[in-house]
């Protein structure tokens, strides 16, 4: 290919840190979050991209980002972040102006964050690496056809399982067990909550987790126009708690006091259709509702 092959990318709008027109699935909840996060962090950011859905943002030799980009294998993004952070620190010691320093951000799907790349992230947290770990959790290996991941929820159907009978791995709890500087859950349909948490994380040093639920029309089987509504239902039903960890304490930043039934959320997605058709699976739906009820009944910080 020649440079002319990418000529259309040179004219992408620059009003946002992440421009439109990228080759992503319509209604991508991960892209919705990434837009907002980068608008806040600004262009002095370097994304260390673990292989996954967001890999599609890069069309060599261009990306739609106004910041910097480094692509890595699925398991090694935190190691890549270490190398970039070390290089920046050396350059700062040699006279690089502080205003040219970059915020190091690992960008990862849940497959890399909670499975293939978990050991590398654990080691980076233990080393006290100064980085932000941004996870778009679409609850499966979305880039390769929505196969089951450690984050796939109980009862879901994926390309590799008909009806999953185990509970989702709690990545937030795994991170907070490491005693990082900060950790928070986010979702694109709650932009004020998201903005406050990203701004807070940006003022800190050390390992920081931003874990975002990323409704996926392709993998979850719903109309792309409903991405924001699906996200709102995840929060209002209590399935996706919005919370943060700082100074050794977890607090919930938005509590759904009048929670909707989990069925309001599950029934809108094709991956759970077998729980409703050809007949309603009252046992499994009851198990999912009971798990959510137990979680919120045990919370005392809101």
The CATH number assigned to the domain holding 192 equals 3.40.50.970
Query: Whole-model pTM?
Result: 0.91
Residue 143 pLDDT class (50, 70, 90 cuts)? confident
How much is the pLDDT for 23?
Answer: 63
- The rounded distance, in Å, linking the Cα atoms of 101 and 160 is 43
| Between residues 7 and 295, the one the model is more confident about | 295
Residue 302 pLDDT class (50, 70, 90 cuts)? low
- Does position 137 have pLDDT exceeding 50, yes or no? yes
| Within-domain flag for 100 | yes
Query: Which region, left, alpha or beta, applies to residue 155 given φ > 0 means left and ψ of -120 to 50 means alpha?
Result: left
Determine the angle formed by the axes of helices 227-236 and 29-41, rounding to 10 degrees. Answer: 80
How much is the pLDDT for 99?
Answer: 94
Residue 301 pLDDT class (50, 70, 90 cuts)? low
- Does position 166 have pLDDT exceeding 60, yes or no? yes
- Does position 237 have pLDDT exceeding 70, yes or no? yes
Helices (H), 43-117: 77-93, 110-111
In 10 A of CB 256, how many CB atoms? 18
- The rounded distance, in Å, linking the Cα atoms of 159 and 277 is 19
Residues forming beta bridges with residue 184, ordered by sequence position = 210, 244
How much is the pLDDT for 257?
Answer: 83
Residue 229 pLDDT class (50, 70, 90 cuts)? very high
R_g of the chain, CA atoms, integer Å: 19
**What mean pLDDT comes out for the span 263-282?**
96
- Does position 5 have pLDDT exceeding 70, yes or no? no
Containing domain of residue 56, as a range? 8-297
How much is the pLDDT for 65?
Answer: 85
| Within-domain flag for 2 | no
- The rounded distance, in Å, linking the Cα atoms of 17 and 36 is 9
Q: Using a pLDDT cut of 90, give the percent of the chain over it.
A: 80
How much is the pLDDT for 3?
Answer: 40
| Within-domain flag for 1 | no
| Within-domain flag for 3 | no
How much is the pLDDT for 4?
Answer: 39
**What mean pLDDT comes out for the span 200-224?**
97
| Within-domain flag for 273 | yes
| Within-domain flag for 286 | yes
| Within-domain flag for 201 | yes
Sheet strand arrangement including 207-213:
68-72, 45-50, 103-109, 131-137, 207-213, 182-187, 242-246, 249-254
- Does position 76 have pLDDT exceeding 80, yes or no? yes
How much is the pLDDT for 144?
Answer: 86
* Domains of the chain: total: 1
The mean predicted confidence, pLDDT, of the chain is 90
């Amino acid at each position: 290919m020649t440079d002319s092959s990418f000529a259309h990318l040179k004219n992408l709008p620059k009003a946002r840190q992440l421009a439109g027109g990228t080759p992503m699935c319509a209604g991508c909840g991960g892209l919705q979050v990434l837009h907002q996060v980068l608008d806040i962090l600004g262009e002095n950011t370097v994304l260390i991209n673990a292989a996954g859905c967001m890999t599609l943002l890069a069309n060599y030799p261009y990306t739609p980002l106004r910041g910097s980009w480094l692509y890595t294998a699925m398991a090694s993004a935190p190691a890549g972040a270490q190398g970039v952070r070390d290089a920046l620190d050396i350059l700062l010691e040699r006279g690089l102006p502080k205003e040219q320093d970059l915020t190091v951000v690992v960008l990862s799907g849940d497959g890399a964050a909670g499975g293939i790349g978990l050991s590398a992230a654990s080691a980076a947290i233990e080393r006290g690496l100064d980085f932000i770990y941004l996870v778009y959790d679409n609850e499966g290996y979305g880039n390769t056809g929505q196969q089951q991941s450690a984050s796939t929820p109980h009862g879901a159907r994926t390309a590799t399982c008909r009806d999953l009978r185990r509970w989702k791995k709690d990545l937030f709890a795994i991170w907070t067990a490491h005693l990082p500087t900060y950790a928070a859950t986010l979702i694109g349909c709650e932009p004020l909550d998201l903005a406050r948490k990203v701004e807070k994380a940006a003022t800190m040093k050390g390992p920081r987790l931003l874990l975002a639920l990323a409704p996926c029309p392709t993998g979850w089987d719903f109309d792309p126009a409903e991405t924001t509504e699906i996200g709102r239902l995840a929060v209002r039903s209590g399935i996706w708690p919005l919370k943060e960890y700082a100074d050794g304490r977890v607090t919930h930043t938005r509590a759904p006091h009048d929670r909707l039934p989990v069925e309001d959320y599950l029934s809108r997605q094709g991956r759970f259709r077998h729980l409703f058709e050809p007949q309603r699976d009252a046992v499994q739906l009851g198990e999912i509702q009971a798990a959510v009820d137990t979680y919120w009944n045990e919370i005392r910080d809101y």
